Amino acid sequence: MSKQLFMNLAQAAVRYRETLPRLPVGVSASRDELLSLVNTTLPDEGEAPEIALQTLIAGVEKGLIQSGSPRYFGFVVGGATPVSVAADWLTSIWNQNAQVYTTSPAASIIEDVVAQWLLELLGLPQTASVGFVTGTQMANFTALTTARNVMLQKHGWDIDGNGLSGAPPLNIICGECCHATIHSAVRLMGLGTKHVRSIQADGEGRMQVAAFRQTLETCEGPTIVCVQAGNVNTGAFDPLADIIALAKKHHAWVHVDGAFGLWAAVSPRFKHLVAGVGEADSWATDAHKWLNVPYDSGMVIVRSPEAHRQLKIARCAYAGPEDAAHRDGSQWVPENSRRARGFVLYAALRHLGKQGVQHLVENCCDLARAFAAELADLPHVRVLNQVVLNQVLWRVEPPGIADTDAFNASLVARLQQAGVCWMGTTQWHGQIALRISVSNWATTQADVRQSLESLASSIEKEYQCQRSLTGQ
Ligand SMILES: Cc1ncc(COP(=O)(O)O)c(C=O)c1O
C-alpha cells in the first residue's frame, strides 16, 4: 500500500509550510544548476514510490519560488490557505472527473452550490451561469467566445453552421491598458487584431469615457466591449457604470475582466469601485488570486445561461443524455475531462465565510496603502499610482544617475537576491517600474516592515555600487 508514501508526503508538506515564512523568497540558482539536479536518463526500471517522491523533492527544492510566502509580492499571487491546500489534496485523492454528473455527482453538486455562493459574494445576478476553468485567461476566452456567438447570431449569422468565414465583421472594444489575455482570447477565437479597437486610457490605466463614446458611435454591427475591474499594474478600475450604460444603449455585449478586482465587491469599503458591474453580460475572475486557493482556479460567469450553454453543443454519446436538473460541469467550459475544482472552493469559502473573505481583501488593501506611504517617504522613491486596491507601482529616481531604468532593473535583481521579499518589474508609461501586489492571506504589517527594511538597504547598496562604478 501507499501508506508510507502518504505519511512521508504529509511530513514533507508540514515541514515546508512551517519553514515557508523564513525561507528566502526567490531562487538564486541558475537554470543549468537546477537542470543538473533533475536531468537524469529515464530509468529502465521504475523506482519505489517513496524514492521517486524523495528524488522529486530534492531535485526541485532549489528552484521553487516561495510564492506562498507572506512576503511574496510578485504578479498577483494568492498564498493558498491551509484548508484550500488540504482540500486540493483530497481533490487529487478522490480523483473525480468533473465532466458530467454521472462521472461525479459530488463534484457536480458542489459546483452548483459554490456557483451560488460566488454570485452572491461578488454581487452578480443570481441566475447567471458559472463555469470553473483554469484561470482568467480561459474565462476571458470562454466568455468572449460566447459573446461572439451571440452577437453574430443576433446579426443573422449562423456561426454554428458557417463558422467565422464570411461572418459580419465584429467590433471588439477594450482599453489600451487591458490585460494581454484579452488580446490572446481574441486570437484564440479566430479573430485578428484589426477587429480590436483600443481606447485611450488615463494615467492610472482607466479607459477614458469620452474616447470610448466616440469609438462606440463609429461601430456598426456586432460589438463586444471589454472592461477591466482592476488593472494588473495599478489596480485601477475602468469607469464601469458609465461604460456599461453606453455600451448597453448601443446593444453591445459587455464583458468584465475582473481577475482580482471583482473581489472588491465583498468589501463595503471597496465595493464602490465595482458599482454597476452587475449590469454586464459576462465576467471573468480568479480564485487562485484573491481567494487564496492553489493553482489553478478561475471562473467564467455569464448572465444568460442559455447563451453560455450554446458554447458546446456536441456531446459525447458515452456521457449519456443531457438532463437540466443535473449539472454537467464541462458544458460551461472548453474542457471535457477536468479537475473537480469545486471541492477546494467549497472548503475555502466555508472556512473564510463572508467575513473572512472581506477581511482578506481589506487587509491586503490596507497593507498595500501602508507600503505605499512608507515607500513615498524614502529618498527619491516615487509611487507611480493611486493605491486604490492592493497594487503599488514605484521606482527610484536617483539624482545624477543617467539611466534610471538600468538603476531600477539592477535594484530589483538585488532585492530579489536578498531573499527577504520578492517583487517584479513592469513597464509603466514607457519606463520600468517595480510592482507590488499584496494578495496573500498571511501577510502582516511585520512582513511589510521587514520588506521595507530590505528594500531601503537594497537601494542604499545600489547607490554605493553605482557610485563605485562612476568613481564618485
Ligand atoms: C486583469 C487580469 N486579467 C487577466 C489575468 C490573467 O489571469 P490568469 O493568469 O489567471 O489567466 C490577470 C493576471 O494577473 C489579470 O490581472
Which atom of ligand 1 is closest in space to residue 229's alpha carbon? 1
- Which pLDDT value is given to residue 189? 95
Question: What's the total number of domains in the chain?
Answer: 1
- Do the domain assignments include residue 425? no
Mean of pLDDT values over 322-345: 96
% of the chain with per-residue pLDDT over 90: 93
Mean pLDDT confidence for 306-310: 96
Span from the CA of 111 to the centroid of ligand 1 (angstroms)? 22
Whether 52 shows a pLDDT value over 80: the answer reads yes
Q: How far is the CA of 181 from the centre of ligand 1 (A)?
A: 7
- Pairing mode, if any, of strands 381-383 and 171-175? unpaired
CA dist 38 and 58 (Å) reads 9
HEC assignment per residue over 122-148: HCCCCCCEEEEECCHHHHHHHHHHHHH
Angle of the 180-188 helix axis to the 136-154 helix axis, nearest 10: 50
Residue 380 lies in a domain: no
Is residue 439 within 8 A of residue 78, CB to CB? The reply is yes
Residue 1 pLDDT more than 70?
no
Which residue range forms the structural domain that includes residue 267?
A: 86-348
Instruction: Kindly report whether the peptide bond that precedes residue 403 is cis, defined as omega within 30 degrees of 0.
Output: no
Question: What mean pLDDT comes out for the span 62-82?
Answer: 97
The CATH number that applies at residue 314 is 3.40.640.10
Distance 179 CA to ligand 1 centre (A): 7
Ligand 1 centre and the CA of 322: distance in Å? 33
Please report the pLDDT score of residue 400 as a whole number.
Answer: 86
- Ligand 1 center from residue 137 Cα (angstroms): 6
52 within a domain of the structure (yes/no): no
Atom of ligand 1 nearest to the CA of 138: 11
Centroid of ligand 1 to alpha carbon of 259 (angstroms):
5
Residue 423 C-alpha cell reads as 517583487
In a domain? residue 91:
yes
Residue 472 has pLDDT above 70, yes or no: no
Q: Which residues of 28-43 are buried (b: 16+ CB within 10 A; e: fewer)?
A: eeeeeebeeeeeeeee
163, pLDDT greater than 90: yes
Distance 140 CA to ligand 1 centre (A): 9
The residue to mutate among 132, 181, 290, having the most atoms of ligand 1 within 8 angstroms of its beta carbon, is: 181
**Minimum CA distance residue for ligand 1 atom 16:** 232
- The position carrying cell 473537480 is 340
- Residue of 286, 297, 436, 438 to mutate, ligand 1, most atoms within 8 A of C-beta: 286
Length of the chain: 472
Region 60-74: what's the mean pLDDT? 97
For residues 18 and 312, give the distance between their C-alpha atoms in angstroms, rounded to a whole number.
Answer: 44
| Residue with CA nearest ligand 1 atom 2 | 259
Report the separation in Å between the CA atom of 5 and the middle of ligand 1, taken as the mean of its atom positions. 35
Query: Looking at residue 469, what is its pLDDT?
Result: 79
Q: Please report whether residue 439 resides in a domain.
A: no
315 vs 392 pLDDT, higher one: 392
Residues flanking ligand 1, CB < 6 Å: 76, 135-137, 179, 181, 228, 230, 232, 257, 259-260, 286, 298
Q: What is the pTM of this model?
A: 0.97
CB of 138 closer than 8 Å to CB of 300 = yes
The x, y and z cell numbers of residue 150, run together, are 451571440
Distance from residue 136's CA to the centre of ligand 1 (Å)? 5
The pLDDT tens digits for 205-251 are 999 999 999 999 999 999 999 999 999 999 999 999 999 999 999 99
Gap from CA of 107 to ligand 1 centroid (Å): 25
pLDDT band at 72 (very low <50, low <70, confident <90, very high): very high
Q: Is the pLDDT of residue 470 over 80?
A: no
Residue 30 covered by a domain? no
Tell me the best of 73, 137, 141, 274 to mutate to test the pocket of ligand 1, counting ligand atoms within 8 Å of each CB and taking the most.
137
**What integer pLDDT is reported at residue 136 of this predicted model?**
98
| Ligand 1 geometric centre to CA of 204 (Å) | 18
Q: Closest ligand 1 atom, CA of 139?
A: 11
Query: Hey, whose CA ends up nearest to atom 7 of ligand 1?
Result: 136
- Residue 345: which pLDDT band, with cuts at 50, 70 and 90? very high
Query: Which numbered atom of ligand 1 lies nearest the CA of 230?
Result: 1
User: Which atom number of ligand 1 is nearest to the Cα of residue 228?
Assistant: 1
Closest ligand 1 atom to Cα of 140 = 4
Higher pLDDT, 469 or 122: 122
80 lies in some domain: no
Confidence of residue 82 (pLDDT cuts 50, 70, 90): very high
**Shortest-distance atom of ligand 1 to CA 258:** 1
207: region left, alpha or beta (phi > 0 left; psi from -120 to 50 alpha): beta
Quick check: is 26 in a domain? Answer: no
Average pLDDT along the chain: 96
